[in-house]
Amino acid sequence: MITKIVKWFIFSVIIALLPIIFNLLIVLSNGVAPSLEILTSRGELLLVAAGIAASAIGELIASGQNYMTPKLLAGGSCVIILSLASLYFAHISATIILGKTLDANVVSYTSMYLYIFAILSGASCIVLAEV
């Protein structure tokens, strides 16, 4: 089970962050002080959270009838996170396209919270898929 969690964490969580990590390198290379707002104010982390949640749901589906209540809670949490992250990203994208401004602080912190919840719910799904 530990191997499965480590594999999921490396290939679903860490690798999904690579675009944001490259963005950080570009910001640093241009002499700009990085901040959460600069790196995530356009909703990039929401896409990562959605991907993590979707990946975890895929692992949980058809994993058997054991521990159904915890599986429903973990899977349901991932569905909620996937939905919220996707819809909020769509809102952010449309707002940017329309030339309107958003509060970068709100976008960044909301993205961060959804990302953290995606990791926690996703890890729960990965663990429960093995039992």
Q: Which amino acid is at 13?
A: V
Instruction: Report the distance separating Cα 16 and Cα 32, nearest Å.
Output: 23
How far CA 66 is from CA of 63, 70, 71, 128, in Å, comes to 8, 9, 8, 9
Cα-to-chain-centroid distance, residue 27: 22
Instruction: Please report, as a single letter, which amino acid is at residue 123.
Output: A
Domain that holds residue 87: 2-129
Query: pLDDT (tens digit, 0 to 9) for every residue of the chain, 131 residues total?
Result: 889 899 999 998 999 999 999 999 999 999 999 999 999 999 999 999 999 999 999 999 989 899 999 999 999 999 999 999 999 999 999 999 999 999 999 999 999 999 999 999 999 999 999 98
Return the pLDDT at 62.
85
Q: Count up the domains in the chain and report the number.
A: 1
**What pLDDT is attached to residue 1?**
81
pTM of this prediction exceeds 0.95: no
